[in-house]
Amino acid sequence: MLRNQDVFVVGAGVNGLSTAIRALEAGFTVTIFAAVFPAIDPCSIQAASFWAGANHISFGETGSLMEELEKETLEVYLELVKKDPEVPVMTRPHFRFLESADHPSLSRREHMANFYSDFRVLDASELPEGMAVGETNLTVCVDVPRYLPYLLERFFALGGYAFRTKTPLASLSSLLTNQRPQLEQISADGSSDPTRVPVFDPAAIINCTGLGARLLEDVLDTAVHPIRGETLIIRAPWVNPSITFHFANGDVSYLIPRQSGDVVVGGTFQVGDTHAENRPETVQGIKERIVRAYPEILPEDKRAARDVRDLDVVAECVGLRPARTGSVRLESGVLDVDGKKVLVVHNYGHGGGGYQSSWGSARRAVELLRTELASTA
């Protein structure tokens, strides 16, 4: 038995919460530290977990680490849907339509056919107007504004603790020194809950900081970069499938339904862009593309006109996907804290694939944690 079962998780997005839950289930005492808790805080550009449209469409290459993480995560989602009626995740058909018969993304077909057992190519009679090629498979759609609170509640129910860092975290190591940021313990609803004073001597730290990994003094990962995305939240409870449209000019539109009846509509991938506000021309483009390709997102009596003014837009959102050149970072290392060696496990860099790889990443991070701690016990 390991003497010290305390683990700190830094970051409270979907990967931080999923990893913290798996660590609790493995028998560790877990404390989360984060500046932002997307489950309970207002939506912000830094909290990409919350504004995201989350479904499961494999990004990984065949045989890659990301593919393994995605497969395991899909299995977990499907099991949750089957066993937990409260989980804000639902299965839906996903359709991918391409305007051009020689679109570059067709190179993904073999991978998708191998990944999804029910994958099939659509007949010409099943294609919407203007589309040359279509494919379909079963996916899961995550209602993000409900799912993150669901994870946080599950974390607290398992006995976890959470602290908001009220001043900037300079480094992972600083949590263990008198240079640590000002902290406020929080409860499941975000209120202050000063019931526990943590002992700042953990067995390990798990780094789920996403874009923050660029700035932490003892990480400084220059491979981490933002991919900006704008989304619209549209009220359209009659929309059932998840759909991605690939246009001949390279533009993309996607729509992802949520249990709430809202639909996330997007399709922008702006590498390195950190502009925090919606750009009117981008918003207009998102509206025009989705109405042209999928007029069914409009109320039935408004579809013939295909007028973007008839969209019931609930919110316009901007977020930064925490991407990493090369691959996700899932590996262990050692921090030197005033001469003491402390295990660190890194779990970040998922880009736009955070939800669809979260449970696989969490299991692997905790597996690394247990293996490394056992080797030094």
As beta bridge partners, residue 255 has: 243, 265
The answer on whether 177 is annotated among ligand-binding residues is: no
306 marked ligand binding residue: no
For residue 246, say whether it is annotated as part of any ligand binding site.
Answer: yes
Is 357:73 a contact under the CB 8 Å cutoff? yes
* Among 325, 365, 322, 275, residue whose Cα is nearest residue 49: 322
154 known member of a binding site? no
Binding residues for D-dopa: 246, 321, 352
Residue numbers belonging to the annotated binding site for FAD:
209
Residues annotated within a binding site: 209, 246, 321, 352
